[in-house]
């Protein structure tokens, strides 16, 4: 059980106890975050970034950690999220293993690692924790909250639970609810981990670690993060040279695309805690923005949830090749916000790189993000 915390990470303590939506509470918990730029005298230039499942808070290099971050091309002086103008805060998700309290953290009540003793985690818990980071930095209202993938869900929850917290919102490849296909894929990822005997009901160690399950879960994820169009163009049906094939297994790796998935998975499995993966993955499946609009007469709808959000402007961005958070979900966000009186629009981009396009296709995403922020 290991946490992976980048150099230069900052921390803020959460209120203790910190109540969780589905019951239970955290004691002595903390949130990890990093910042860029400076908060102006009016306090109105703050931008909050909420991440997908696996990233840490190190979105870009800075004085305390010059190593490139996971969104290096998007964030910095003169870049689309221009830190000469904006005070940018990126938080690591509650439940992660990269600084914020999660299943791999020490439970202060017992002195032992939480493991499956961690309370059920919801997207709404992540929103509450992110708000505490914002308030601890003296920010009353955000100029913009940017949410990517799972972070798009957290951002919508933040806007719902704390009306007026932000002037603007950019939702990138996000969703107001989990769709059946995404739930199905994530359920298979979790099953792969749990069926690995080394998982041992969450009680594993570095020496007895569910590596096979994590490898399979990551491969399933990577397949959905990119698109068939990219796989075709990038790998085709190219086979590995004989000297690059592993062992004598007649069903071993044969194609370049298989080798890519294997390499990607092996780089990931020891850099993310399996229990944290399970908790964060399930939190996305549970999320439905319409739930908060439910009454005794029935379940609320996403349209109702979105139409009640209070902000001024919003932009939802997606790509045609995203199968995990399909473009229809970004259109749903824009339409729902528009119905509630928000100046909202949806921007479909023609990237071939699927769900992960926002991480790599900066040539398309960068101008859209810059233009929206410049208009605030």
Question: What tens digit of pLDDT does each residue of 81-91 get?
Answer: 999 999 999 99
- Indicate whether 297 pLDDT > 80: no
* Mean of pLDDT values over 319-338: 98
CA distance 177 to 286: 8
Catalogue the active-site residues. Answer: 149, 322, 355
- Read off φ and ψ for residue 46, nearest 5 degrees: -90, 135
**What confidence score (pLDDT) does residue 50 get?**
98
**What confidence score (pLDDT) does residue 142 get?**
98
Per-residue confidence band for 246, with pLDDT thresholds at 50, 70 and 90: low
Neighbours of 321 (CB within 10 A): 20
* Mean of pLDDT values over 281-295: 94
**Tokens standing for residue 42:** 């009016």
Helices 180-194 and 274-286 sit at what angle, rounded to 10 degrees?
A: 160
- Indicate whether 288 pLDDT > 80: yes
**What confidence score (pLDDT) does residue 77 get?**
98
- Indicate whether 1 pLDDT > 90: no
**What confidence score (pLDDT) does residue 243 get?**
67
CATH of 10-179+290-374, one of 3.30.1330.10, 3.50.50.60, 3.40.50.300, 3.40.50.1820: 3.40.50.1820
**Of 19-28, 61-70, 126-135, 249-258, where does mean pLDDT reach its minimum?**
249-258
Question: What tens digit of pLDDT does each residue of 186-228 get?
Answer: 999 999 999 999 999 999 999 999 999 999 999 999 999 999 9
**What confidence score (pLDDT) does residue 242 get?**
72
Between residues 2 and 272, which one has the greater pLDDT?
A: 272
| Edge-to-edge strand ranges of the sheet holding 30-36 | 10-13, 30-36, 87-91, 46-50, 142-148, 166-172, 313-319, 343-349
- Read off φ and ψ for residue 343, nearest 5 degrees: -75, 90
- Indicate whether 296 pLDDT > 80: no
- Indicate whether 352 pLDDT > 80: yes
Q: Do domains 10-179+290-374 and 183-281 have the same CATH topology?
A: no
**What confidence score (pLDDT) does residue 289 get?**
97
* Mean of pLDDT values over 286-315: 92
Q: Residue 287: which of 150, 195, 190, 162 has the closest Cα?
A: 150
* Mean of pLDDT values over 136-154: 98
**What confidence score (pLDDT) does residue 285 get?**
98
In the chain, where are the structural domains located? 10-179+290-374, 183-281
Distance of CA 218 to CAs 14, 52, 345, Å?
31, 14, 33
* Mean of pLDDT values over 27-54: 98
Per-residue confidence band for 181, with pLDDT thresholds at 50, 70 and 90: very high
Percent of the chain clearing pLDDT 90 (strictly above): 91
* Mean of pLDDT values over 265-279: 96
**What confidence score (pLDDT) does residue 208 get?**
96
C-alpha 122: how far from chain center: 13
Instruction: Give the CATH class of 183-281.
Output: mainly alpha
CA distance 358 to 308: 27
């Amino acid at each position: 059980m290991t946490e992976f915390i980048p150099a230069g990470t900052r921390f803020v303590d959460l209120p203790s106890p910190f109540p969780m939506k589905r019951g239970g509470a955290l004691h002595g918990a903390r949130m990890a975050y990093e910042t860029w730029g400076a908060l102006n005298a009016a306090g109105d230039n703050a931008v909050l970034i909420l991440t997908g499942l696996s990233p840490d808070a190190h979105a870009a290099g800075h004085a305390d950690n010059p190593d490139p971050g996971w969104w290096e091309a998007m964030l910095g002086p003169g870049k689309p999220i221009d830190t000469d103008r904006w005070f940018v805060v990126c938080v690591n998700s509650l439940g992660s293993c990269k600084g914020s309290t999660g299943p791999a953290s020490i439970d202060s009540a017992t002195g032992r690692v939480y493991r499956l003793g961690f309370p059920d985690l919801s997207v709404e818990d992540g929103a509450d924790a992110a708000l505490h980071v914002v308030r601890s930095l003296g920010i009353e209202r955000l100029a913009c909250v940017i949410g990517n993938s799972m972070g798009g869900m957290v951002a919508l929850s933040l806007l719902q639970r704390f009306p007026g917290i932000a002037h603007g919102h950019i939702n990138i490849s996000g969703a107001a609810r989990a769709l059946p296909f995404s739930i199905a894929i994530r359920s298979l990822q979790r099953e792969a981990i749990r069926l690995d005997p080394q998982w041992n009901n969450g009680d594993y160690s570095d020496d007895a670690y569910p590596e096979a399950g994590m490898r399979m879960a990551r491969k399933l994820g990577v397949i959905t993060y990119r698109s068939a169009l990219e796989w075709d163009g990038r790998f085709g049906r190219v086979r590995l040279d004989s000297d690059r094939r592993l062992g004598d297994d007649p069903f071993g790796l044969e194609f370049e695309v298989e080798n890519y998935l294997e390499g990607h998975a092996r780089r990931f499995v020891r850099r993310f805690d399996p229990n944290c993966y399970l908790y964060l993955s399930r939190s996305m499946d549970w999320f439905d923005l319409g739930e908060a609009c439910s009454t005794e007469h029935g379940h609320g709808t996403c349209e109702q949830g979105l139409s009640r959000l209070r902000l001024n402007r919003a932009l939802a961005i997606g790509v045609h090749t995203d199968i995990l958070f399909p473009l229809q979900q970004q259109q749903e966000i824009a339409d729902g916000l528009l119905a509630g009186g928000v100046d909202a629009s949806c921007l479909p981009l023609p990237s071939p790189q699927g769900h992960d396009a926002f991480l790599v296709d900066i040539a398309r995403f960068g101008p859209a993000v810059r233009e929206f922020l410049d208009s605030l």
